[in-house]
């Protein structure tokens, strides 16, 4: 079986990123750090990406690192370098589409980086474990620039019966209230004609969106 190096680049790119090489170097230097602590660092790096609180006692990652630094008498800078390296490995692994990351090849690449077997196991469990979909989802949806989008959309359909200028009117009156993610609350009236245009255009957009999958040029992006 041909070595995967001949047909696939390692997940971390063409050259070892400095962050990771520093991390490995520090790991070698700080061999007083027990594996349990390393395990904790690995799970913290996962939490870092997921942006959750590291533990129920809600101590931030920095506090945990300071605790390790004191307990195992390793400088905080070294711990930060190691932690940073772990997070970087995860980010790089999550970058290509999910199907590209094969289990064995991933482990092989990590061996090339000179991580210990236990650490490799730890990374592998994170990337192919229970939170796999969540991780990929977050990387794609959260970590990109986004225009404001609608948080909530309320509407009022009233009927105008009489006005100051007309004693018998009977006109429908449509009000929208948009709450957008940039904390704006927009209340505005929608003339019925514009509402019909809006509805038509939205339907058209949805149809175009469905057709995106079939477009020739985009077939190159099949993952």
Footprint on residues 195-214 left by another protein (CB under 8 A): 195, 197-199, 201-203, 205-206, 208-209, 212-213
Q: How far is the CB of 90 from another protein (least distance, A)?
A: 11
Give the pairing type, strands 150-160 and 184-190: unpaired
- Applying CB under 8 A, the span of 38-46, 59-67, 88-96, 119-127 interacting with another protein comes to 88-96
Q: Where are the beta strands (DSSP E) in the chain?
A: 150-160, 171-180, 184-190
Q: Is 7 in the site for another protein (CB under 8 A)?
A: no
| 12: DSSP letter | T
Q: How far is the CB of 218 from another protein (least distance, A)?
A: 6
- Applying CB under 8 A, the span of 18-26, 65-73, 87-95, 127-135 interacting with another protein comes to 87-95
Closest to 123 in 3D by CA, of 1, 4, 11, 3: 11
Q: Is 8 in the site for another protein (CB under 8 A)?
A: no
| Distance, CA of 8 to CA of 105 (rounded, Å) | 9
| Distance, CA of 142 to CA of 215 (rounded, Å) | 26
Closest to 134 in 3D by CA, of 221, 51, 45: 51
Footprint on residues 141-180 left by another protein (CB under 8 A): 143-144, 146-150, 153, 155, 157, 159-160, 163, 165-169, 171-172, 174-176, 178, 180
Q: Is 221 in the site for another protein (CB under 8 A)?
A: yes
Backbone angles phi, psi at 156, to 5 degrees: -130, 125
Q: Among 91, 107, 124, 132, which residue interacts with another protein (rule: CB under 8 A)?
A: 91
- The alpha carbon torsion through 215, 216, 218, 219 (nearest 10 deg) reads 110
Using CB atoms within 10 Å of the CB of residue 46, give its burial: 0 to 12 exposed, 13 to 18 middle, 19+ buried.
buried
Q: Among 57, 133, 188, 214, which residue interacts with another protein (rule: CB under 8 A)?
A: 188
Q: How far is the CB of 143 from another protein (least distance, A)?
A: 4
Stretch 97-136: interaction string toward another protein, x if CB under 8 A: x---------------------------------------
Helix 35-50 vs helix 132-141: crossing angle, to nearest 10: 50
Binding site for another protein (CB under 8 A): 91, 94-97, 139-140, 143-144, 146-150, 153, 155, 157, 159-160, 163, 165-169, 171-172, 174-176, 178, 180, 184, 186-192, 194-195, 197-199, 201-203, 205-206, 208-209, 212-213, 218, 221-223
């Amino acid at each position: 079986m041909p070595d995967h190096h001949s047909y696939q680049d390692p997940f971390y790119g063409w050259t070892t990123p400095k962050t990771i090489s520093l991390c490995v170097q520090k790991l070698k230097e700080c061999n007083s750090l027990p594996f349990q602590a390393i395990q904790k660092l690995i799970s913290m790096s996962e939490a870092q990406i997921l942006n959750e609180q590291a533990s129920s006692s809600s101590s931030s990652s920095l506090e945990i690192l300071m605790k390790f630094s004191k307990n195992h008498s390793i400088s905080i800078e070294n711990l930060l370098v190691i932690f940073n390296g772990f997070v970087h490995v995860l980010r790089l692994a999550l970058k290509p589409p999910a199907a590209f990351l094969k289990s064995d090849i991933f482990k092989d690449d990590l061996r090339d980086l000179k991580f210990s077997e236990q650490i490799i196991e730890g990374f592998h469990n994170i990337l192919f474990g229970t939170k796999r979909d969540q991780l990929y989802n977050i990387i794609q949806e959260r970590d990109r620039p986004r225009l404001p989008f609608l948080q909530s959309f309320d509407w009022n359909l009233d009927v105008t019966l009489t006005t100051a200028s007309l004693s018998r009117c009977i006109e429908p009156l449509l009000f929208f209230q948009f709450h957008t993610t940039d904390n704006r609350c927009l209340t505005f009236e929608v003339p019925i004609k514009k509402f019909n245009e809006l509805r038509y255009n939205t339907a058209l957009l949805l149809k175009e969106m469905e057709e995106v999958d079939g477009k020739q040029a985009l077939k190159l992006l099949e993952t």
